[in-house]
Chains A and B, each alone.
Chain A
Amino acid sequence: MPAAQRDSFQEATRREVLALRPELAAEHFRLLDAIWDQGDPVVLELCRVRMATLMGAAAAQPERSPAAVAAGLTDDLVERLPGWPTDPAFTDTHRTALAFTEQFVIDHHGITDDHVQALEAALGAEGVVVLTTALGVWDNQHRLDIALGVTAP
């Protein structure tokens, strides 16, 4: 049942909730498209899933970016995410981006010059802007899911 016809948002999908404000939903999805078009999809997806896990965003964890899967992301790598600091399956670029992501989630004031310099060395300045914008958008999306009881994308 569309969210607009429910008594509450509970058990609505994210798309049903966002559809209550179609103009804003369209801009939101255009922003996500721009992020996925500009960034490394595997790096982005690893960071998105890690953020969702740390924030307890259950609806977002099973989602998979088609772009990331097409670029080679496997379920095995996603399942190994908790061990990223030492697991050899992760590249230095993955580790740099995941370290930045975790610091962003846990305490954004704890992000240092070293974090940003390492990320710029790995992804370039464009990649830093894309990832940081993506983290902001996903942070908002995860909080929306949790606050409104969204159960599926």
Chain B
Amino acid sequence: MSTTPRLPSAIDGVPAHIGSVLQHAPDVRAAFDAMYATLLGRGTVGMDVKEALRLRNAAVSDCGL
């Protein structure tokens, strides 16, 4: 697993990180953020359940973030 970003930042003067790298495609990033906010913030499944599933998914996928 790479420990450094593999793409440069899309924002001048800002280091490369998940936010500044995704900004290479700002419309896609904005649409993803809107979908994710709806997924996490609303609906009948409680936040505690969603967070537990998110953490388990990250562990299984070995996602360091």
A-side interface residues toward B, CB under 8 Å?
21, 23-24, 27-28, 30-31, 33-35, 37-38, 108-109, 113, 116-117, 120, 124-126, 128-130, 133
Q: Which of A24, A109, A125, A128 contacts B1 (CB 8 A)?
A: A109
Q: What number of B residues sit within 8 Å (CB to CB) of A?
A: 24
Which residues in A have their C-beta under 8 angstroms from that of B13? none
Which residues in A have their C-beta under 8 angstroms from that of B31? 27, 30-31, 33-35
Please give the distance in Å from A85's CB to the nearest CB on chain B: 23
- Provide the bound-state CA to CA distance between A136 and B25, in Å: 15
Check B35 against A125 for contact (C-beta < 8 Å): no
Q: Which residue of B lies closest to A124 (CB)?
A: B24
Cβ-Cβ contact count across A and B, 8 Å cutoff:
66
Q: Which residue of B lies closest to A109 (CB)?
A: B1
Which residues in B have their C-beta under 8 angstroms from that of A130? 25, 28
Check B43 against A21 for contact (C-beta < 8 Å): yes
Check A24 against B35 for contact (C-beta < 8 Å): yes
Interface SS, A side = helix
Please give the distance in Å from B25's CB to the nearest CB on chain A: 4
Q: Which residue of A lies closest to B36 (CB)?
A: A27
Check B8 against A125 for contact (C-beta < 8 Å): yes
Which residues in A have their C-beta under 8 angstroms from that of B61? 108
